[in-house]
Amino acid sequence: MSRLLKWLRRDQEGITGLETAIILIAFVIVASVFAYVVLSAGLFSSQKAKEAVNAGVQSTMATIEIRGNIVAKMESGVVREIYFCVGIPHAGSGVDFTPTSANVSPVVISYVDANNLIPSVNWTLEKLSTINSDNLLDPNELFQITVLIPASGNVSIGPYHSFSLEVKPPDGPVMTVERTIPGRISQYVNLH
């Protein structure tokens, strides 16, 4: 009988338990490396998504809004100055109006009408209500902006003239003000 068993096994090669274990360990190592790569990529992309969301929230929180009327000061039938007050929503973050060393502010105001585009007009700032002494517009503060319309060039804002101002803070959305000068004017005109 032992001869019969030897004769049945003569051309058969078997895999030992050690060889099987080595093959299984290799599969496990390859699978774990692949899983690590996939998880790392997922964690990296979720971190980048989190950073993008936080940047978007910060940008949205720095929103400037008009508070009150927009008034134009007229001289000889044309606008020379435009006044408006700005504030920050209660849940918002501050907007920096501090001039730099060259007396340039991080906030840029542009003028646009049918015939003109002035990328940066001169303007001044008056603090109407503040909670501190800096030039950072915080919630519960109110700043009055005076936009100085250039007297030279083709800019002549008179009755029935439409124009827009864009207030561009260093961070946050651009605030656009579009108005039309009424037909009946006085020295100070409320632009509804």
Q: Which residue has the higher pLDDT, 25 or 54?
A: 25
Q: Are residues 121 and 182 in the same domain?
A: yes
* Residue 7 belongs to a domain: no
DSSP state of 101: T
Both tokens assigned to 89: 């929503």
pLDDT of 84 reads 94
* Residue 32 belongs to a domain: yes
* Residue 186 belongs to a domain: yes
pLDDT tens digits for range 107-151: 889 999 888 888 888 888 888 887 888 888 888 889 999 999 887
Q: Are residues 155 and 111 in the same domain?
A: yes
Q: Are residues 141 and 75 in the same domain?
A: yes
Helix (H, G, I), strand (E, B) or coil at 113: strand
Structural domain total, the chain: 2
Q: Which residue has the higher pLDDT, 100 or 80?
A: 80
* Residue 6 belongs to a domain: no
Query: What are the b/e assignments for 40-74, b being 16+ CB within 10 Å?
Result: eeeeeeeeeeeeeeeeeeeeebbbbeeeeebbbeb
* Residue 5 belongs to a domain: no
pLDDT tens digits for range 16-35: 777 778 888 888 898 888 88
Residue of 141, 138, 142, 144 lying closest to 94 (CA atoms): 138
Distances (CA, A) of 32 to 36, 68, 79, 125: 6, 63, 72, 62
Q: How far apart are CA 54 and CA 173, in angstroms?
A: 15
Q: Which domain holds residue 50?
A: 15-60
Q: Which residue has the higher pLDDT, 46 or 73?
A: 73
Looking up residue 110, the CATH number of its domain turns out to be 2.60.40
* Residue 8 belongs to a domain: no
**What percent of the chain lies above the pLDDT cut of 70?**
85
